[in-house]
């Protein structure tokens, strides 16, 4: 089944992509949730025209995303957490905690666009994350989890 995505769908594609999915996934999930529409010939023509008009606007958005990526590379984020024996954390540090720390620095980034390599963090130390600012702009970001001072 060929569909046009109306929103970004993780592990499938980005908004305005034409994707092939199994019939049940498209009919029972993507279309009822409003995430996709049928890719009829007329819908494809409308999509092509919309993409041509968006191309100019898209360049400005990509340039802004690249500026944000450069600004993020200059940041040094240290997230404090309660630590037990051997630098092991009580609880964990997740992409939500990193999003809050970035927001304090003036960069409002949704946590679903932050991917911490290795998943949730259970120990203190330096870590890397990928932040997707745009479909074409992914920033690698380093941060550190440190022990909370008593």
Give tens-digit pLDDT for 38-70: 999 999 999 998 888 888 788 888 888 899 889
**Containing structural domain, residue 102:** 68-147
- Residue holding tokens 């960069």? 107
The contacts of residue 1 (CB under 8 Å, 6+ apart) are 20, 21, 22, 23, 25, 26, 27
Kindly state whether residues 46 and 80 are assigned to the same domain.
no
Residue 43's pLDDT is 93
Half-sphere exposure of 114 (CA within 13 A, CB side): 26
pLDDT at residue 117, rounded to an integer: 86
**What's residue 119's pLDDT?**
84
Does 77 lie in the same domain as 140?
yes
d(CA 129, CA 111): 11
Are 74 and 110 part of one and the same domain?
yes
* Residue 92 shares a structural domain with residue 41: no
Stretches in the chain below the pLDDT threshold 70: 150
Is the domain of 26 the same as that of 92? no
Residues 34 and 73 in one domain: no
- The pLDDT score that the predictor gives to residue 150 is 64
The C-alpha atoms of residue 118 and residue 135 are separated, in whole angstroms, by 22
Of 43, 61, 79, at which residue does a domain stop? Answer: 61
């Amino acid at each position: 089944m060929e569909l046009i995505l109306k929103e970004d769908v993780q592990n499938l594609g980005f908004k305005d992509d034409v994707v092939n999915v199994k019939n049940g996934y498209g009919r029972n999930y993507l279309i009822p949730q409003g995430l996709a529409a049928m890719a009829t010939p007329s819908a494809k023509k409308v999509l092509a025209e919309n993409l041509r008009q968006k191309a100019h606007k898209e360049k400005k958005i990509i340039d802004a995303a690249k500026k944000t990526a450069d600004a993020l590379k200059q940041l040094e984020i240290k997230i404090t957490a309660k630590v037990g024996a051997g630098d092991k954390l009580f609880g964990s540090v997740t992409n939500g905690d990193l999003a809050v720390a970035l927001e304090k620095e003036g960069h409002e980034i949704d946590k679903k666009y932050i991917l911490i390599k290795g998943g949730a963090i259970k120990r203190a130390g330096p870590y890397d994350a990928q932040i997707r600012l745009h479909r074409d702009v992914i920033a690698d970001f380093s941060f550190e989890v440190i022990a909370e001072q008593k």
